[in-house]
């Protein structure tokens, strides 16, 4: 019986322990960052000594919010509320007050709330002094060098490059032993060698200069230039020693290697920007290539169809201001539909009555373009509208210290290729594509085989117009949206279509990318305007030799 009672008590104790553990697990503060909790309590104190004691606690905290608190302390933007001593990070002055973000310790993990507007007089600044700010800089550098994300550690070392001193070098040396990423470790090694080059004895400088020969860091290049200039000045007063000559030669070799690499990466950058411009030209021209190749219609309203796609993106973003990325993705099918419907209305209402009369078609579509421009001005006003890009299109991809690629242009290149291959798939693998190719190659025979050429014309014009709308979505991410947006691309689009071969999609792709790259390589020597003129002259001379373009295609537009 005694055994049963003791066993029962044991079961009750185990059950009570389980309940306590469950309650502890559900509490947001049990497993909270104890160092952060203590630091926040000290930061809420009006005493400078208490605030100073919070700094090492913030250094030991594992919370991301500790970095934000340290950054706000450094810039004197950390305040506490007069009402409840709650910490806030103060931002820009706004109409009606200042923008503040409050520290919320109840969330898991703790963080700053969304910005709100409050009166500045409701808060007191958390006190700091110059000695504390120097300590804060060291703490921020230490936390960044020990951060779990490689990009943060790389960024920290890059920042230290510009302000190397004994304290920063000591931080790098302590972090170097525990660093496991090869790229970060190599960058740390360069920083340590640069410090030797700046402060070491002549022998140490020579060894450091030889180790830094392949570095592309601007601080290293600047130090090489400074050393070479200094040694040249010394040579004007006395002969250089053997070691000084070797150091001068090492500095000169380092500068020469960097200049050679800079020239190479400058060409790579021009190639990238040329492909980016070319991909925009491909997007703008690919719809025109379809309509021009099948129908032989010179559509001067094509630029306005691009403009409608851009304005569709703007409207959808206004309807979904908090979901920029989703709004952009939804804009692609919506812009296609809007521009396609408008294009089909133009074809049914104007163009179908003017087949076989190219001059009148050109004038009529030019009139339509003016109507569409004025309609947009009446609805949206003549002012340009900015379309926000999603976060994943912001920023740059830093490949090395002297070469980077912007994400928005990289996405435009991939996007244009996706649209191109999607259109190619439609024309090669669908019944619509089969009818389009049949009409473009031999309209009379296609009609004899039962193909409704009028329906094909309308659908093709809608397809080409819809792709123009998609081009407008892409252009909205590169430039402001305005009534004259399409006018900037209509001439270039016709140049691409004619140069590549009327109605040939592969020709449009090659021509668009080629003209974009040619423009970017000519601009450094001739300027943007003259570069376009030179490209136009080249196309005129080329068409004299090959009237059907790079990839000629048999069709009514060519043989008619």
What's the rounded Cα separation, in Å, for the pair 316 and 255?
51
| Longest CA pairwise span in the chain (Å) | 112
Number of other CB atoms surrounding residue 133 within 10 Å: 14
On whether residue 534 sits in a domain, the answer given is yes
pLDDT higher than threshold 90 for residue 334: yes
**pLDDT tens digits, 240-278:** 888 888 888 888 888 888 888 888 888 898 899 889 888
On whether residue 469 sits in a domain, the answer given is yes
On whether residue 272 sits in a domain, the answer given is yes
Range of the domain at 374: 264-392+405-559
Instruction: Give the mean model confidence (pLDDT) for residues 163-176.
Output: 81
On whether residue 39 sits in a domain, the answer given is yes
pLDDT at position 29: 38
pLDDT higher than threshold 80 for residue 440: no
Q: Are residues 444 and 546 in the same domain?
A: yes
Token pair in block for residue 355 = 């087949």
Q: Are residues 168 and 294 in the same domain?
A: no
pLDDT higher than threshold 90 for residue 338: yes
Mean pLDDT is highest, among 155-164, 337-346, 459-468, for 337-346
**pLDDT tens digits, 194-221:** 888 888 888 888 888 888 888 888 888 8
How much is the pTM?
A: 0.71
Q: Are residues 270 and 416 in the same domain?
A: yes
pLDDT higher than threshold 80 for residue 506: yes
What's the rounded Cα separation, in Å, for the pair 338 and 344?
10
Pairing of strands 111-112, 97-104: antiparallel
Please, what sign has the CA dihedral across residues 293, 294, 300, 305?
negative
pLDDT at position 293: 65
pLDDT at position 312: 92
Instruction: Give the mean model confidence (pLDDT) for residues 149-154.
Output: 82
Instruction: Give the mean model confidence (pLDDT) for residues 22-48.
Output: 67
What's the rounded Cα separation, in Å, for the pair 217 and 36?
36
pLDDT higher than threshold 70 for residue 490: yes
Q: Are residues 107 and 40 in the same domain?
A: yes
Instruction: Give the mean model confidence (pLDDT) for residues 403-416.
Output: 88
pLDDT higher than threshold 80 for residue 408: yes
Instruction: Give the mean model confidence (pLDDT) for residues 168-192.
Output: 84
On whether residue 525 sits in a domain, the answer given is yes
pLDDT at position 11: 56
Burial tier of 1 (Cβ tally within 10 Å: 0-12, 13-18, 19+)? exposed
Where residue 12 falls among pLDDT bands split at 50, 70, 90?
A: low
- Rounded mean pLDDT of the chain? 82
Question: How many structural domains does the chain have?
Answer: 3
pLDDT higher than threshold 60 for residue 430: yes
pLDDT higher than threshold 60 for residue 300: yes
Question: CA–CA distance from 224 to each of 99, 198, 200, 212 (Å)?
Answer: 45, 10, 14, 10
What's the rounded Cα separation, in Å, for the pair 362 and 194?
65
pLDDT higher than threshold 80 for residue 548: no
- Secondary structure letter of residue 178 according to DSSP: T
Instruction: Give the mean model confidence (pLDDT) for residues 173-182.
Output: 82
Beta bridge partners of 481: 385
Instruction: Give the mean model confidence (pLDDT) for residues 157-178.
Output: 80
497-535 as b/e, with b when 16 or more CB fall inside 10 Å?
bbbbbbbbbebbbbbbbbbbbbbbbbbeeeeeeebbeeb
pLDDT higher than threshold 50 for residue 3: no
pLDDT higher than threshold 50 for residue 31: no
- Last residue of one domain, picked from the residues 240, 256, 291: 240
On whether residue 501 sits in a domain, the answer given is yes
Instruction: Give the mean model confidence (pLDDT) for residues 284-311.
Output: 83
What's the rounded Cα separation, in Å, for the pair 334 and 472?
11
Q: Are residues 116 and 152 in the same domain?
A: no
- Last residue of one domain, picked from the residues 74, 100, 132: 132
Q: Are residues 51 and 151 in the same domain?
A: no
351 by DSSP, 3-state: which? helix
CA geometry: angle at 549 spanning 546 and 555, to 5°? 110
Where residue 441 falls among pLDDT bands split at 50, 70, 90?
A: low
**pLDDT tens digits, 132-142:** 888 888 888 88
Instruction: Give the mean model confidence (pLDDT) for residues 306-314.
Output: 91
- Last residue of one domain, picked from the residues 80, 109, 132: 132
On whether residue 434 sits in a domain, the answer given is yes
Where residue 25 falls among pLDDT bands split at 50, 70, 90?
A: very low
Q: What is the CATH number of the domain that holds 364?
A: 1.10.3470
The region of weakest confidence among 215-219, 531-535, 547-551 is: 547-551
On whether residue 245 sits in a domain, the answer given is no
Q: Are residues 69 and 206 in the same domain?
A: no
Mean pLDDT is highest, among 229-243, 429-443, 546-560, for 229-243
Where residue 33 falls among pLDDT bands split at 50, 70, 90?
A: low
Cis peptide before 175 (omega within 30 of 0): no
Q: Are residues 425 and 538 in the same domain?
A: yes
pLDDT at position 522: 82
Q: Are residues 110 and 151 in the same domain?
A: no
The region of weakest confidence among 30-39, 93-102, 121-130, 136-145 is: 30-39
Q: Are residues 55 and 117 in the same domain?
A: yes
What's the rounded Cα separation, in Å, for the pair 555 and 149?
58
Q: Which residue has the tokens 């209402």?
A: 349
Q: Are residues 151 and 105 in the same domain?
A: no
Token pair in block for residue 322 = 């908090």
Q: Are residues 540 and 450 in the same domain?
A: yes
What's the rounded Cα separation, in Å, for the pair 286 and 280?
10
Nearest to 502 by CA among 302, 288, 355, 357: 288
Instruction: Give the mean model confidence (pLDDT) for residues 334-348.
Output: 91
């Amino acid at each position: 019986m005694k055994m049963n009672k003791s066993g029962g008590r044991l079961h009750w104790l185990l059950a009570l322990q389980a309940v306590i553990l469950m309650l502890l697990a559900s509490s947001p503060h049990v497993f909270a960052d104890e160092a952060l909790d203590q630091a926040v309590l000290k930061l809420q104190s009006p005493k400078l000594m208490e605030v100073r004691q919070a700094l090492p606690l913030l250094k030991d905290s594992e919370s991301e919010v500790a970095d934000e608190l340290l950054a706000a302390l450094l810039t004197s933007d950390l305040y506490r509320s007069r009402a409840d001593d709650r910490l806030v990070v103060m931002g820009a002055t706004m109409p009606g007050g200042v923008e503040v973000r409050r520290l919320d310790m109840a969330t898991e993990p703790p963080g700053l709330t969304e910005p709100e507007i409050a009166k500045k007089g409701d808060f007191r600044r958390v006190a700091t002094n110059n000695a504390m700010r120097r300590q804060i800089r060291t703490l921020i550098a230490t936390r960044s060098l020990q951060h779990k994300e490689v990009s943060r550690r790389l960024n920290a070392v890059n920042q230290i490059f510009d302000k190397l001193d004994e304290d920063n070098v000591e931080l790098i040396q302590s972090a170097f032993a525990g660093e496991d990423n090869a790229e970060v470790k190599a960058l740390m090694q360069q920083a340590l060698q640069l410090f030797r080059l700046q402060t070491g004895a002549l022998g140490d400088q020579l060894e450091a200069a030889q180790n830094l020969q392949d570095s592309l860091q601007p601080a290293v290049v600047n130090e090489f230039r400074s050393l070479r200039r200094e040694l040249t000045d010394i040579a004007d007063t006395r002969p250089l020693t053997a070691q000084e000559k070797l150091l001068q030669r090492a500095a000169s070799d380092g500068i020469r290697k960097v200049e050679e690499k800079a020239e190479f990466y400058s060409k790579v950058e021009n190639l990238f920007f040329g492909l980016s411009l070319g991909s925009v030209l491909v997007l703008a021209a690919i719809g025109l290539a379809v309509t021009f190749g099948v129908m032989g219609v010179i559509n001067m309203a094509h630029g306005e169809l691009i403009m409608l796609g851009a304005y569709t993106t703007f409207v959808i973003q206004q309807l979904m201001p908090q979901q920029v990325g989703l709004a952009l993705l939804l804009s692609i099918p919506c812009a296609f539909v809007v521009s396609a419907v408008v294009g089909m209305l133009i074809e049914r209402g104007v163009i179908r009555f003017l087949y076989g009369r190219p001059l009148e078609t050109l004038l009529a579509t030019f009139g339509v373009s003016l109507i569409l421009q004025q309609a947009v001005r009446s609805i949206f006003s003549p002012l340009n509208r900015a379309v926000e890009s999603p976060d994943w299109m912001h920023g740059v991809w830093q490949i090395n210290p002297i070469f980077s690629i912007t994400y928005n242009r990289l996405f435009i290149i991939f996007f244009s290729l996706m649209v191109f291959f999607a259109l190619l798939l439609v024309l090669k693998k669908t019944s619509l594509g089969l009818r389009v190719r049949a009409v473009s190659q031999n309209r009379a025979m296609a009609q004899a085989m039962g193909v409704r050429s009028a329906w094909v014309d309308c659908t093709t014009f809608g397809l080409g117009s819809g792709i123009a709308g998609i081009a407008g979505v892409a252009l909205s991410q590169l430039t402001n949206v305005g009534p004259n947006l399409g006018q900037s691309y209509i001439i270039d689009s016709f140049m691409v279509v004619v140069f590549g071969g009327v109605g040939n999609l592969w020709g449009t792709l090659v021509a668009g990318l080629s003209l974009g790259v040619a423009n970017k390589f000519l601009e450094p020597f001739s300027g943007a305007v003259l570069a376009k003129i030179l490209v136009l002259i080249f196309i005129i001379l080329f068409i004299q030799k090959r009237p059907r373009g790079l990839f000629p295609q048999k069709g009514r537009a060519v043989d008619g």
